[in-house]
Copies of this chain bind each other. A is one copy, B any other.
Amino acid sequence: MKESNTDVLIVGAGPAGHMAMTWFARCGVKARIIDKRPDSRFIGQADGLQSRTIEVFQSFGFGDRAQKEAYHMLEMCFWEPDANGNIVRANRMPDSTIGISRFQQSVLHQGRVESFMRDSVKKWSKDTLKIERPVQATSMKVDESVPESDTDAYPVTVTVKHMKEDVAAVNQYGAKIANGLFRAFDGDGNAEKEGEEETIHAKYVIGCDGAHSWVRRSLGIEMNGESTDYVWGVMDGVPVTDFPDIRSRCAIHSAESGSIMVIPREHGMVRLYIQLAQVPIDPEKSRIDRSKITPELIMDNARKIFSPYKIEMKFVKWYTAYQIGQRVATKFSDSNHRVFITGDACHTHSPKAGQGMNVSMMDSYNLAWKIGHVVRKLAPPEILNTYEPERKKVAQELIYYDYKLSRLFSGRPAVAGKSENGIDTKEFHDYFEKGNGFASGTIVDYRPSILVDKPEVKYLGEGEGDEPYYSPLATKAPIGRRLDTVQVMTQCDTKPVQLADVMPSDGRWRIVYFSGDIVNNAQLMKNAEAISDVLTSPDSFVKKHTPATCMLDSVIDVLMVHASGRWELEWNTIPEAFRPVDHYGRQDYWNVFADDKPYHFPHGHAYEKFGIDPSKGALVVLRPDGHLAKVSEASVDGLKEIEQFFGSVLLEQKSSWKSNGGYLDTGKELEEWYGIADYGSPVLAQ
């Protein structure tokens, strides 16, 4: 039998698996990814892209592709029965909370979304990291005698089967309408099929294998939660209708016939989530008999709910039906932190809030850089312990949110004097509006840990999350959340850029030094020089943590955002640490930014946005996933605190810039000169 080693094995190539491999490709981690399905093409299923997801795509360099192709779903309309039982528009509001992100919720089908990630992986891995399919994992053993600290060992052994395409082919799966029901119900089974076996030894394994996770079951992890009796149909097609809001997202509560969610989509399509008033139950399985749920049955329900408006669906691309349930896994890894689960393997819920694909990807986004740090020996394995607490909290909030919203949505509306025990649609609107913050993914808040330096905060209760914590030095940037972006401008060439775009997801930590107005405040300039001296000194902590064969900004990237006018500051007066020169003599011009007005765009007001006082400044530390880890004083003292922080998060390198006394030139031209900033997608003119 074939045997091989890999640093990381990813089981399952849905959105969660794709995101994990995207990180690994970007950071140069030796990883493999397998999926038991023969191909990745499909229609239907997930389509909602939340704000934070697009931010993360942008940080990998393909946010613009999502923005360009996706349908921008900007408005939410609420329709309810009037006194005569006819639906009327009761309310409308922006679908994404205003100001919460530069991106708004969009809609694009999962297949496209996954292909963006594959393209990115192809680029960064130089086409070496590819999904191996159809390959099914069939057995797994973890050698628990290997200590967590031994990062050279391969304690996880997974047996996989390389199948023939035709053996692996999923019969019920495909573009045909008649098979549309398949995917949302049973997964494609976990029956073992014929194939050539291989034994893979891995340092770490990630189970991204979906709701019926084989990895989860192998670890013996349970799911907690419950399900309801509400059954919903879903259908994608081009609507022919006189309903005026068909191109907005709509929640329609009919008086007697149930509810509908309208999701406008790309290519003129619309997705309808349709509550099915009566469904045939299969007595044996005690769940709905899906063979009896036809497109006609679904549309019959839809027509009743839309009445008095007419609706037909043309060019139906896909349909399915599902029952609502909410469940969370009790654990997200084995006890040795060698095998992790992410995505639907950890949590399942209803699709209407458009969360599953997003939260699944964000789980992997949280986990994979940490594994990358450990296998690259940049960080100790302890950082892996933060995965479960950080993401389980999100899963639980998600489950609560979905539970609440599903019930409000599936319930019959209380119409004045008509029905008792109905749900209060006003409560629904309010909950929806409030939930938009959570749904956007931008206010996910991680608790104190070695990766988040803040005091314990107050828990506000279910659906409320934690009280945000702000440093007095940056009174509008909550520690533990992702740092929102803001427009600044390059000092060297006056280009407006989003701060987030100059800090792409490339595995690096960032220290953003808000230096204040160094031109007009002599003390601040002195601080800047002192900070520069520490950073450039022979025993700087940045040098200690950076391998000697890499550029000095490969592990920790230092940026400066000053609050002086751009024209006031002369380039050659900027302290040296912020305009470093490499061993070829090339200067890095792209680490210094002004909080000033560019020629063709409005002022970004970065200091104001983050609540930083330009007469004081601040030092801000960002994790590789963009979450704000720490804020300290803009001084040598503040820098010392940061040194301490990194002391427990990063390892001292054996051959570092510090031990080597500088860069170790191996003669090879560096592939990537970080100095030549690829700003990701630039500020595009509207």
Contact = CB atoms under 8 A, between A and B. Distances in A.
Contact of A684 (B64, B245, B312, B314): B64
A494 B74 contact: yes
Contacts of A64: 64, 68, 684
A355 to B, nearest CB: 21
Contacts of A600: 74, 94, 96, 98, 104
A28 interface: no
Contacts of A599: 74-75, 94, 96, 98, 104
Nearest to A497: B686
A268 B675 contact: yes
Number of chain copies forming the complex: 2
Interface stretch (A374-382, A509-517, A583-591): A583-591
A601 interface: yes
Interface stretch (A42-50, A236-244, A415-423): A236-244
A74 B585 contact: no
Interface in A572-588: 572, 584-587
A587 B241 CA distance: 8
B248 A314 contact: no
Contact of A586 (B96, B98, B268, B572): B268
A50 to B, nearest CB: 14
Interface residues of A, number: 58
A673 interface: yes
B681 A494 contact: no
A676 interface: yes
A589 B246 CA distance: 10
A410 interface: no
A267 B678 CA distance: 8
A685 interface: yes
A50 B490 CA distance: 21
A495 interface: yes
Contacts of A586: 238, 240, 268, 314
Contacts of A492: 247-248
A122 to B, nearest CB: 17
Interface in A370-390: none
Interface string A542-572: 0000000000000000000000000100111
A280 interface: no
A73 B75 CA distance: 37
A598 interface: yes
Nearest to A571: B244
Contact of A494 (B68, B103, B248, B589): B248
Nearest to A92: B567
Q: Across chains A and B, which 10 residue pairs bring their CB atoms closest together, nearest first? A: A102-B685, A268-B676, A247-B492, A244-B571, A94-B599, A247-B493, A684-B684, A240-B585, A74-B494, A75-B494
Given A104-B599, A684-B684, 20 more contacts: A67-B682, A67-B684, A67-B685, A72-B493, A74-B494, A74-B598, A94-B600, A96-B600, A238-B584, A240-B586, A244-B571, A246-B589, A247-B492, A248-B494, A267-B676, A268-B673, A314-B585, A487-B686, A498-B686, A601-B686
Interface of A: 64, 67-68, 72-75, 92, 94, 96, 98, 102-104, 238, 240, 242, 244-248, 264, 267-268, 312, 314-315, 487, 490, 492-496, 498, 567, 570-572, 584-587, 589, 598-601, 673, 675-676, 681-686
